[in-house]
Amino acid sequence: MSNTDFALAVEDLTVSFDGFKAIDALTLYIDRNELRVIIGPNGAGKTTLLDLICGKTRASGGSIKFKNTELTRMAEHQRVRLGIGRKFQTPSIYENLSVFQNLEVSFPAGRSVFGALAFKCTDEVRARVRAVAQDVGLIDKLDIEAGLLSHGQKQWLEIGMLLMQEPELLMLDEPIAGMSARERELTAELLLRICKNRAVIVIEHDMEFVRRIAHKVTVMHQGKILAEGPMEQVQADSRVIDVYLGH
Ligand code: ADP
Ligand code: MG
């Protein structure tokens, strides 16, 4: 497979914060329709890697190619337009709007939340909202005020808001933190469903969850990749046990 066939090709990526290399010459390839999980101890550089891919942080060196387009000098909003979606740890939903409205304002036509009040909802947008709500398990909650949703449902709503943009790469940082066992199970099903149409990168600590969803696991340590492969292989790796799984 040539490098152009990947959804994402990260090569020799480095970022220094005052001389400290949070990401150190890291190389990583993600296939289209792959669900990759990144694990590793606190401070390994996992969140920083997502920051670099989405453009929140600028790389000091190396390359990030998305569908063979170089991203490193591109602004964050341009990367969104190219098809990169990023979910942060705390959900950013509009608590006072309904689930429907939250999804509607996320439609890429780019209306502000205030402009949405005057917006005449087209059939196209309405159909997309319903399809996405179905995907994230909120089809019965469309008229509910988002602030009244459970913690887990808020997380799914935010994933839905990202899906409204039809991203080809979706990145999620610790999506099941604070969720109940049932919500975790539903989130696993949700992620397995949505990676059929796109590449997904998930950072997660819960090993049961990782085992359930990962196509492949990347283990990060000190800004580098320590191990990469199927869950069983990574779990049996003595270096991984030493720096992470053993604790
Ligand atoms: P992880 O998500 O794997 O726990 P992070 O990517 O958050 O790790 O952090 C990796 C390292 O980089 C940590 O030592 C952290 O303190 C440092 N770091 C992250 N962002 C910045 C920043 N903007 N400025 C300085 N140091 C940072
Ligand atoms: Mg982190």
Residue nearest to atom 16 of ligand 1 (CA): 43
Cβ neighbour number for residue 136 with a 10 Å cutoff: 25
CB neighbours of 2 closer than 8 A, spacing ≥ 6? none
**Is the per-residue pLDDT at 38 higher than 50?**
yes
How sure is the predictor about 108, in pLDDT bands with cuts at 50, 70 and 90?
A: confident
Range scoring the smallest mean pLDDT among 2-6, 42-46, 171-175: 2-6
* Ligand 1 atom closest to residue 17's alpha carbon, by position in its atom list: 25
User: CA 162, 167, 168, 170: dihedral to nearest 10 degrees?
Assistant: -20
What is the best residue among 15, 17, 224 to mutate for testing ligand 1's pocket, by most ligand atoms within 8 Å of CB?
Answer: 17
Regarding the beta carbon of 154 and ligand 1, being less than 6 Å apart is answered no
Q: How far is the CA of 43 from the centre of ligand 1 (A)?
A: 6
Q: Are 40 and 244 in contact (CB under 8 A)?
A: yes
**Is the per-residue pLDDT at 27 higher than 70?**
yes
Q: How far is the CA of 42 from the centre of ligand 1 (A)?
A: 9
Residue 238, amino acid: S
140, two tokens? 């019965």
**Is the per-residue pLDDT at 2 higher than 80?**
no
Full DSSP string of 8-28: EEEEEEEEEETTEEEEEEEEE
Would you state the pLDDT for residue 246?
83
Q: How far is the CA of 84 from the centre of ligand 2 (A)?
A: 19
**Selected residue with higher pLDDT from 212 and 246:** 212
**200 - beta bridge partners?**
35, 170
Would you state the pLDDT for residue 122?
83
**Is the per-residue pLDDT at 117 higher than 60?**
no
**Is the per-residue pLDDT at 91 higher than 80?**
no
**Selected residue with higher pLDDT from 5 and 128:** 128
**Is the per-residue pLDDT at 190 higher than 90?**
yes
Coil vs helix vs strand at 40: coil
Regarding the beta carbon of 112 and ligand 1, being less than 6 Å apart is answered no
Q: Which domains does the chain have, with CATH numbers?
A: 1-83+170-185+201-247 (3.40.50.300), 90-166 (no CATH)
Would you state the pLDDT for residue 110?
47
Q: Whole-number mean pLDDT of the chain?
A: 92
Range scoring the smallest mean pLDDT among 84-93, 108-117, 119-128, 130-139: 108-117
